[in-house]
Structures are given as C-alpha cells and as structure tokens.
Amino acid sequence: MIILRPYQEALLNGARQGFRERKRAILLQLATGGGKTVSGSKMIEGSSAKGLVCWWLAHRRELITQTSKTFAAMGIQHGIIAGGHSSDPHKRVQIGSVQTVARRLDCLPPPDLIIFDECHHLGASQWQKIFDAFPDAKIVGLTATPWRLDGKGLGNWFQEMVNGPTVAELIAEGSLSRYRLFAPTQIDTAAIKIQAGDFKKDDLASVMDKPSITGDAVQHYRKLCNGKRAVAFAVNVEHSQHIAAQFNANSIPAEHVDGSMHSDARDAAIARFIAGETLVLTNCELFGEGFDVPAIEAVILLRPTKSLSLHLQQVGRALRPAPGKSEAIILDHAGNSMVHGLPDDDREWSLADREKRKKDEKASVTIKTCMECFHVYRPAPKCPQCGQQPASQGREIEQRDGELAEVDVAAKRKEQRREVGNARTREDLERIARERGYKPGWVNAIMNARQGGGLAGRRYA
C-alpha cells in the first residue's frame, strides 16, 4: 500500500477544491523527484473506483512504462494505448501515448478525467487536439516546471495552479538529495544562433562536440565522481555517441542511447546502467523527462540551453535520494547554472505569460575562480573554500580552460541579495525578476518595502 506524503495529499486536496469550485483544468506543480506520478496515480485510483473513465497521457515511452509500473504496484487495472501494445479500450483506466491517442479519438470512450503528464508541452498540436476534444472532462496537469520557452503562460489552459514544496524544502526534509555543483567559469555562446527560442543545434554541436571538451568531462568525472553512475546530456545523437566513445576509450564503461534504437536494446542498456555494469549513460533529449532512476549519482551537462525547464529537468535526474547515496554531483560543462541559477533557488512559478527579453539583454553573472582550489564563488575578498586571496583585487581571475570548480551556494545567495540591494531602478529590478523567474508582484513588493522601510519581498531576494 502506497501512503502519500503530507505535501502530496495537500496537492490533491488543492485539485479537489478547484474542481469543487467548477474549474475545469488544474495544474499541480511539484519538483522533479517529488512524486508526481504517485500523487496523480492516487487521484486515478480514487476516481476510477467511483466508476469514472480516467486517462493518463504522456509523450514518451519511458513515462508510459514508469506509470504502468506504478499503477500495477497500486493494483490499478489499466490498458495501454500506445504503439507496440495491444489495446483494451474497455478498461476504465487507460495510460496513453499522446501521439497514439490523438489519432484514435473517434474510437475511444470519452474520458471523465484526463491527467496530462509533463503538461508544459500543452499547446503542441496533438496535445491541443485531445484537450479540445472533451470539453466536459476534468483536466489535471502535472509538471515540475510550468515554464514554456516561448513565454506563453500555462494559464491559457489551466484556471489554477497548486504548488508543492520547493526544491530547497524537499532537500531539507530528505525527500530530495543534497548536491554539489561544479561549473565552468565561462561558456562562450555569443556566436551560436537562436532557433525556436533555444540555441540552434547544428551551431551548438560545432562548439560542444570537441574532443577537448569531452576529454575535460572525462577528467572531471574521474576527479569528482569516479565510479558513480552518471547520465550525460548531449546536443545531438552524434555528440552523445562521441561522449560515450571517449569515456570507453578511458576505460570508463559507457553507453549511448537514443529514441531511434529498438526498445529492447534501449531497455537493456538502462538495465546495465541500473546494475552498475555501465557507469555513464549518454543521451540526447531522451532522459530529460521521465527517467526516474534514484541510483543516478551524477549528471554531466554538455548541452547549453536557454530553457529553464530543460535545465531543471536534467539536473533533477540526480536529485532523487537512494540508499547509500549521500549527495548528487552536478558537472555543468555547459554553463547552464550560470544562466539559470542553482537547483534549489526560490523560483516563483506563474500561469501568466512572461515578458520576452530584449535581444541585446543578457543575464549578468559575475564569478571568480580560486586558482588554488578551483572553487567557484561570487566576488568576495577571498575564496570561501580555502581562504586564498586573489592575486589582484582589481581584475577578474583568468579562466583556465576546461576546469570545473565547485559553486559555493551560500556565497551565491549572498551575491543574489547584493544584486537586489544594488538595483536602483524599477527597470533593474524587472530585469532581475525576469532572469530569476520571479512573479511580477516581486518588483512591487521590493519597491514598497524600500519606500516604507519594511521587509516585504525579502523571501524572494
């Protein structure tokens, strides 16, 4: 019998209250690793017991397989509507592939409840087709990151969002793992073109798919998490294959997997990874969502992205606690943490549309690297890790190519507060709010606090 944690019960109670208020679509936000699948499954269990037809929809085979295992563990009888599965449309509960269900809408009994897993993808044509086809069905969306790259708010589909605890709160209570983050001092993406809101893959691959960069990844894996199971995120399939090859060439068992592989071959590679026979599993856009293996002890980021959602989903793969796992290691060779912040930053999610950044507007992140211990920290008189003073107080320390250094979380948070304190205009505060994903009301809270001398908005800084 699966017993929900208090915050999971609170999420479901929030959804029930929304439905009592005649709202059609409710979004449940819960950090990666917080137990969205178990929470939603409890809702399916209760609704189907009342005789309701319930659908659980996902867009990846891994998500469908994961949910089916959870349903089976809970004793929920269900069918699967997806390629490679024999459908049983008479089952009250169905787990469906978005792609397959969208093609079979006319052949299926109408649902009373639809749960969209990873619902930040809503708006894509097949998702939208299903959403529009059953106006009388109640809708529940599940996501860790209600954030679309195009800036369109999920309020276009959901009337209410119920938030779970933050990553920091989940770490504090032991529901997620503590982490150590190592990151490069600088990643030059200035010459990379933008396509559909993110870096153009061909241009990105030409920058990242180099033996020197992958070699650095191998060296730092050995230095910082040797022998641990790590998932590496690549730009494209060829890049992922090259990463695996270079790890193998250095006697570190690695395998590449991608969506074009036969499912049996992919499952076998994952099984070897779980068993510890393979230590590094490389992929491209396959394991960002739905790869829930608590034994993952490290992630290796080799794909710069402008997407906050993609970054947090990838980092979150390593944050699930497991027996014998004291902490997660994040090796950020892509520099994404310098753009999107720490995994447990206090982010304020909103259903509203986001204001787009101006083309020439860039995130301002200043970082020093200690040349003694290679610890990364926000500007300070001396290194918080070893106490070493910079050789020159008047200039930034020169970057060493390929070196990763640990991010000092306390120092970074102190610098974030300092940045807010140094912001003199509303425009400065609005820029900070956009970069950190804060709610629009944060700027007003800070301005009001300054005018009245109060502390309103302090929790955001």
Question: pLDDT digits over 178-202, tens only?
Answer: 999 888 656 788 889 999 889 999 9
pLDDT at 318: 93
* Ordered DSSP codes for 58-83: ESSHHHHHHHHHHHHHTT---EEEST
406 domain-assigned: no
Q: Distance between CA atoms of 140 and 332, rounded to whole angstroms? A: 33
292 domain-assigned: yes
Q: Are 118 and 144 in contact (CB under 8 A)?
A: no
Query: Is residue 402 scored above 60 in pLDDT?
Result: no
Q: Are 235 and 207 in contact (CB under 8 A)?
A: no
Last residue of a domain, one of 166, 187, 202: 166
Position 373 confidence tier, pLDDT thresholds 50, 70, 90: very low
Residues 177, 44 share a domain: no
Q: Distance between CA atoms of 183 and 407, rounded to whole angstroms? A: 7
Residues 282, 160 share a domain: no
Among 392, 395, 394, 400, residue whose Cα is nearest residue 373: 400
Last residue of a domain, one of 321, 340, 359: 340
pLDDT at 430: 80
385 domain-assigned: no
Q: Distance between CA atoms of 363 and 432, rounded to whole angstroms? A: 8
Among 35, 98, 18, 90, residue whose Cα is nearest residue 64: 98
Residues 67, 181 share a domain: no
Q: Facing residues of 299 across strands?
A: 231, 330
395 domain-assigned: no
pLDDT at 432: 80
Q: Distance between CA atoms of 268 and 261, rounded to whole angstroms? A: 11
| Other CB atoms within 10 Å distance of the CB of residue 174 | 9
387 domain-assigned: no
Q: Distance between CA atoms of 435 and 363, rounded to whole angstroms? A: 6
Position 2 confidence tier, pLDDT thresholds 50, 70, 90: confident
Q: How many domains are contained in the chain? A: 3
CATH number at residue 291: 3.40.50.300
49 domain-assigned: yes
Sort 31 into a burial class: Cβ within 10 Å, 0-12 / 13-18 / 19+: buried
pLDDT, one tens digit per residue, over 28-46 is: 999 999 999 999 999 999 9
Range 234-237 contact pairs with CB under 8 angstroms and sequence separation of 24 or more: 234/208, 234/209, 234/282, 234/283, 234/284, 234/302, 234/303, 235/201, 235/204, 235/205, 235/208, 235/209, 235/284, 235/302, 235/303, 236/201, 236/205, 236/209, 236/284, 237/284
Domain with 77, as residue range(s), is 6-166
Residue with tokens 């990666």: 32
Among 303, 284, 307, residue whose Cα is nearest residue 150: 307
The pTM of this model reads 0.79
442 domain-assigned: yes
Query: Is residue 360 scored above 60 in pLDDT?
Result: no
Query: Is residue 368 scored above 50 in pLDDT?
Result: yes
Query: Is residue 362 scored above 80 in pLDDT?
Result: no
415 domain-assigned: no
Q: Distance between CA atoms of 351 and 330, rounded to whole angstroms? A: 29
Last residue of a domain, one of 340, 360, 391: 340
Tell which wins on pLDDT, 286 or 234.
Answer: 234
Residues 129, 115 share a domain: yes
Mean pLDDT of 259-279: 91
Q: Distance between CA atoms of 388 and 385, rounded to whole angstroms? A: 8
pLDDT, one tens digit per residue, over 333-354 is: 998 988 888 898 888 899 999 8
Residues 182, 85 share a domain: no
Residues 181, 162 share a domain: no
Most confident of 75-84, 356-365, 391-400: 75-84
Least confident piece of the model among 87-91, 171-175, 444-448: 444-448
Residues 251, 187 share a domain: yes
Tell which wins on pLDDT, 396 or 139.
Answer: 139
pLDDT at 461: 30
Residues 216, 135 share a domain: no
Q: Are 213 and 322 in contact (CB under 8 A)?
A: no
Residues 129, 24 share a domain: yes
Residues 187, 122 share a domain: no
pLDDT at 147: 87
Residues 308, 219 share a domain: yes
Q: Distance between CA atoms of 265 and 288, rounded to whole angstroms? A: 19
Residues 156, 186 share a domain: no
